[in-house]
Chains A and B, each alone.
Chain A
């Protein structure tokens, strides 16, 4: 039982990062119905940006804030300059563009940051000496680093929920997500809201990327690949248009991944079952959930009476 708690705690830390990236996906999906395949690589680019700023003597947390601000601008520009014109042609064009951006941001990172392919050392965000942990009843330990990641994500999530539920901009975002035509008729400048959604999503991604790099103590061109895969799975599991679903989906997948990876190891002392199997199991679970609930755990099934 001690193991169980341990694996769950470890899984929650990683899972919270999936949640964050998934939230970024959901913020865009809700507004436009587009899946941003470049979410992970945009985050990667911003993470390299934070590394670069930090490397020039700026404290890491401040560097991350600056990178998140830069990502905000880049996200808005991408919506305005690429996604919006493409969306007027066809939704398919948008898919192609986000896949192109995926490639572009990865290549650009490789070009601009020397040593990106093999990896650059990323600073620690939370105390992470071997002795930095809480001891829990039953023998489990909870590393400060994991607590820090989880708390950071939960705080950002709470802020996002406040934004959605308590501010006028948030109301406008919910209006556009629910019924773009009616939002326009109510006077919402929907284009600005979509631009804001992309900007916000890119910022969220930037922070997510930096959290991953912080835990890995390294950032390289492959850092966000698996994370994005699981985050998009988390968003799908949660229902794509539900922020709550993204959070629950991400945390669940993180825990599942941790259990599937670690239990066999503790039983057989082997490492045969690795991250790949974890991903396979995660996708199997998603498949089952979607078969039972096609709109995901929290996705809107659009109960509408005529």
Chain B
């Protein structure tokens, strides 16, 4: 089940990560991680607390030093800085949402468009207000005053303001009530289905992850130990025991 250089249909993947190592100081967290995200798919990294999911996301976005080969649409990006990576078309919603709490909702969206130029930024803001009407109601409020669910929606809208080709979401369900989480995953699913947005989500919650994923990577102590379609992974006994509890 090790990742192949290309997808079954022979198309080069949108994001291709090979032999990724990264860590903090002397501690190496990622031990040569491989994963791929195809154009237009939802990929999920499933892993327990401390497995290295956030580290993986931060390494992809260039937020921490890393080694290995990473290509995006075929372009190498392992040596690029975070702002260059955003400009290449990868936007991340970090764990804990990372909203600009002191900025208004509207300014958060402008912040998301930092790498863009031009007049259509305001039009995009209106578009995301249409998708998330609650945000329009609160557009002049500071983001810190929003509820957790609203902040997560804002964080996603903010990331999308950069018009990314790939959206990275680090544990979007963290700290949210189940009903809000379901709403959130429905939104992500719609963004993928209706707009063809490619998404890489990191999750601890296997039920959620398997429900939305086209492909799944199981991460344990810094390496991918299993990967496949959502169906394959659901039928993998070891994975089921560890992550689904039956």
* Residue positions of A touching B, CB distance < 8 A: 168, 171-172, 174-175, 177-179, 181-189, 300, 302-306
Q: Smallest Cβ distance from B143 to chain A, in angstroms?
A: 9
Contact A304 B103 (CB under 8 A): no
Contact A171 B83 (CB under 8 A): no
Contacts of A172 in B (CB 8 A): 114
Q: Which of B71-112 contact A (CB under 8 A)?
A: 81-83, 86-87, 91-92, 94, 98-103, 107, 110-112
Contact A184 B82 (CB under 8 A): yes
B100 interface neighbour in A168, A178, A184, A306, Cβ under 8 Å: A178
Chain B, Cβ-Cβ closest to A184: B82
A171 interface neighbour in B81, B111, B148, Cβ under 8 Å: B111
CA distance A175 to B103 in the complex (A): 8
CA distance A280 to B162 in the complex (A): 51
Contact A182-B98, Cβ < 8 Å, known A171-B107, A187-B82, A306-B175: yes
Contact B83 A188 (CB under 8 A): yes
User: Total interface residues on B, using CB and 8 Å?
Assistant: 32
Cβ of B63 under 8 Å from chain A: yes
Cβ of B36 under 8 Å from chain A: no
Contacts of B61 in A (CB 8 A): 185
Q: How many pairs of residues, A versus B, come closer than 8 Å at their CB atoms?
A: 80
Contact A175 B114 (CB under 8 A): yes
Contact A303-B111, Cβ < 8 Å, known A186-B158, A187-B86: no
Contact B148 A181 (CB under 8 A): no
Contact B114 A178 (CB under 8 A): no
CA distance A228 to B2 in the complex (A): 63
Q: Smallest Cβ distance from A51 to chain B, in angstroms?
A: 40
CA distance A189 to B84 in the complex (A): 9
Cβ of B145 under 8 Å from chain A: yes
CA distance A183 to B101 in the complex (A): 12
Contacts of B175 in A (CB 8 A): 306
Contact A171 B145 (CB under 8 A): no
Contacts of B86 in A (CB 8 A): 185-187
CA distance A168 to B162 in the complex (A): 14
Contact B87 A182 (CB under 8 A): no
CA distance A175 to B162 in the complex (A): 15
Known: A174-B107, A186-B115, A303-B142. 16 other contacts (CB 8 A): A171-B111, A172-B114, A174-B100, A178-B100, A179-B101, A185-B61, A185-B91, A185-B92, A185-B98, A186-B112, A187-B115, A302-B101, A303-B145, A304-B101, A305-B147, A306-B148
CA distance A181 to B111 in the complex (A): 13
Contact A184 B83 (CB under 8 A): yes
Cβ of B144 under 8 Å from chain A: yes
Contact B101 A186 (CB under 8 A): no
Contacts of A178 in B (CB 8 A): 100-103
Chain A, Cβ-Cβ closest to B146: A305
Q: Smallest Cβ distance from A8 to chain B, in angstroms?
A: 32
Q: Smallest Cβ distance from B165 to chain A, in angstroms?
A: 14
Contacts of A300 in B (CB 8 A): 102
Contact A171 B114 (CB under 8 A): yes
Contact A185 B144 (CB under 8 A): no
Contacts of A188 in B (CB 8 A): 83, 114
CA distance A185 to B91 in the complex (A): 7
Q: Which 5 A-B pairs have the closest CB atoms?
A: A187-B86, A187-B115, A182-B98, A187-B83, A184-B82
Chain A, Cβ-Cβ closest to B147: A305
Q: Smallest Cβ distance from B101 to chain A, in angstroms?
A: 5
Chain A, Cβ-Cβ closest to B83: A187
CA distance A186 to B148 in the complex (A): 20
Contact A303 B144 (CB under 8 A): yes
CA distance A178 to B158 in the complex (A): 15
Contact A185-B63, Cβ < 8 Å, known A175-B114, A303-B144: yes
B94 interface neighbour in A175, A177, A185, Cβ under 8 Å: A185
Contact B111 A175 (CB under 8 A): yes
Q: Smallest Cβ distance from A172 to chain B, in angstroms?
A: 7
Contact A186 B162 (CB under 8 A): yes
